[in-house]
Amino acid sequence: MKTYEIINHTADVGLRIYGRNLEGLFLNAASAMFEIMLEQVKKRPIFGRTEHMRFLLNKQGNNIEEVFVAWLSELLYLFSAEGLVMEKANMHKLDLNCIQAEVIGRAFDSDFERIKTEIKAVTYHELEIKEDKRGWQAQVIFDI
């Protein structure tokens, strides 16, 4: 099952993201965002030392859209301020008004990867999150 696709937007980048459940949707959205931002320039040595980072995240919102934007915005912030590239996350709590998660990732390392697209922000424009028989779907536009 594909986890996301790029949708057309004249100036920015739009994504449609899929997930079997809400948790899957949030994780797939985060992976998609990092995939758009970064590209590998050199293979990492298998036994190399990679610095790992952990952050606890706790965000509230009035609805699922706000929680979704808060989640991605926080990851974007952690990336630009702390250099965190998310690799996985343990969701402790996720509902229509709240997300609590432990985000684990590596420190961005320009020896192995480069930023191909700068995402400035996650926007609310045409934001849509819905549940259907196959699971959850979200549409989001990033300002780049």
Partner 1 sequence: MSDIWQGPLEKIDNWHWRIPKSYKSGMRVPGVIFADERLLKDIRQDKAPEQVANVAFLPGIMKYSLAMPDIHWGYGFPIGGVAATDVKDGGVISPGGVGFDINCGVRLLKTNFQYDEIREKIKDLVYVLFSDIPSGVGSKGEIKVSQKEEREILVKGARWAVQKGYGIEDDLECTEEYGAMSGADPYAVSERAYERGKAQSGTLGSGNHFLEIQAIDQLYDRQICEQLGLRLGLITIMIHSGSRGLGYQVCDDNVKGMIRCLDKYHINVPDRQLACAPLESPEGRQYLAAMKCAANYAWANRQCLMHLTRRSFERVFNESWQSMGMYLIYDVAHNIAKIERHIIDGKEMTLCVHRKGATRAFAPGHPALPERYKQIGQPVIIPGDMGRNSYLLVGTQKAMQETFGSTCHGAGRLKSRSAALRSININQLMRELEERNIFVKASGRGTIVEEAPAAYKDVNDVVDVVANAGIAKRVCRMRPLGVIKG
CB of 93 to partner 1, least distance (A): 20
Q: Residue 8 or residue 133: which is nearer to partner 1 going by CB?
A: 8
Q: Residue 6 or residue 56: which is nearer to partner 1 going by CB?
A: 6
CA distance 136 to 122: 19
CA distances from 28 to 2, 51, 131 (A): 10, 23, 15
Give the residue, chosen from 23, 24, 57, 73, that forms a contact with partner 1 under the rule CB under 8 A. 73
The token duo for 47 is 């036994």
Supply the DSSP symbol for 61: -
Give the residue, chosen from 54, 88, 125, 134, that forms a contact with partner 1 under the rule CB under 8 A. 125
Nearest to 89 by CA among 78, 97, 17: 78
Supply the DSSP symbol for 80: I
Would you tell me how many other CB atoms lie within 10 Å of the CB of residue 46?
A: 5
Q: Residue 35 or residue 66: which is nearer to partner 1 going by CB?
A: 66
Q: Residue 46 or residue 81: which is nearer to partner 1 going by CB?
A: 81
DSSP-based three-state secondary structure for 77? helix
Binding mask 14-53 for partner 1 (x = CB under 8 A): x---------------------------------------
Q: Residue 20 or residue 51: which is nearer to partner 1 going by CB?
A: 51
- Helices then strands, counting H and E runs in the chain, come out as 2, 10
Binding footprint of partner 1 on the chain (CB under 8 A): 6-14, 65-66, 70, 73, 77, 80-81, 108, 114-118, 120-121, 123-127, 141, 143-144
